[in-house]
Amino acid sequence: MAQRGRPLGYEPDKVLDVAMRLFWAHGYEGTSMSDLTEAMGINRRSLYAAYGSKEGLFEAALARYVDGPGAFPHAAVEKPTAYEVAECYLRQAVLSYTCPELPRGCMTVQAGLTCSAEAEPVRDELASKRRLGIELLTKRLVRAAEEGDLPAGADPSALAGYLVALNHGFSVQAGGGITRMVLMRFVDQALLLWPGRPS
């Protein structure tokens, strides 16, 4: 049973990528439907047929982000030692947030920290995504503590929150124009302080 009716006139992955970049760079409320349809090269009606609403499109774009440019934390927690997890997490964050081909910063931070009352569901969804990041690192560092990979008495969940705070701070700074080279020096500094390292 082949597909019936007129085939799509655009490539879904490509136009969703365009939407992701717009929301990432200008935020949910800072991006208008006209901005989107113009940049995506598709008609308003086609967009609504595919995603139902602006919020629906945003959710699809956000999903694409966390599965693409924002997926590096999942790679980081695969590293064999806690130090390597922290190093990979922070360095990949800075590399991603200052990639010349992408908007600056982390989409989950940049796209909607605050908003009008109408967009609160979007803001809350972003906050929820950020909390998932803390949980991901917490689980990994709890395991590290069990494996004796952290100094005795170190608090895995506090360390996870600390790393994520640094990450989000780098997003803010990258969005504000701080360069990759400078941010990487901040990372070097943080890694020098990692527990168990000579200080």
Partner DNA sequence: AGAAATAGTAACCGATCGGTTCGGTTACTT
Partner DNA sequence: AAGTAACCGAACCGATCGGTTACTATTTCT
| Contacts to its own copies by CB under 8 A | 25-27, 29-32, 35, 105, 109-111, 113-117, 119, 126-127, 130-131, 151, 155, 157-159, 161-162, 164-173, 175-178, 182-183, 185-186, 188-190, 192-197, 199
Planar angle of CA 190, 191, 193, nearest 5 degrees: 70
Given the complex with DNA, which of 54 and 129 has the nearer CB atom? 54
CB of 30 to DNA, least distance (A): 8
* Cβ neighbours, 10 Å, residue 71: 13
Residue list 47-86, contact with DNA (CB under 7 A): 48-50, 53-55
Pair 112, 29: CB distance under 8 Å: yes
Q: Token match 């081909």: residue?
A: 101
From its own copies, DNA, none, which one binds at residue 70 (CB under 5 to 8 Å depending on kind)?
Answer: none
Amino acid at site 18: V
**47/6 Cα distance (integer angstroms):** 16
Smallest distance from the beta carbon of 41 to DNA, in angstroms?
7
Closest CA to 106 of 69, 64, 76, 63: 69
Type and span of the H or E element at 54: helix 54-67
The nearest distance, CB 158 to its own copies, in angstroms, is 4
Is 179 a binding residue for DNA by CB under 7 A? The answer is: no
Q: Candidates 45-53, 66-74, 151-159, 166-174 — which segment interacts with DNA by CB under 7 A? A: 45-53
Nearer to DNA, 1 or 181 (CB): 1
**Cα Rg, the chain, nearest whole Å:** 19
Q: Which amino acid is at 196?
A: G
Contact assessment for residue 82 and residue 137, using Cβ atoms and an 8 Å cutoff = no
Q: Which is nearer to DNA, 46 or 157 (CB)?
A: 46
User: Which residues are near DNA by CB under 7 A?
Assistant: 1-10, 29, 31-35, 41-46, 48-50, 53-55, 116
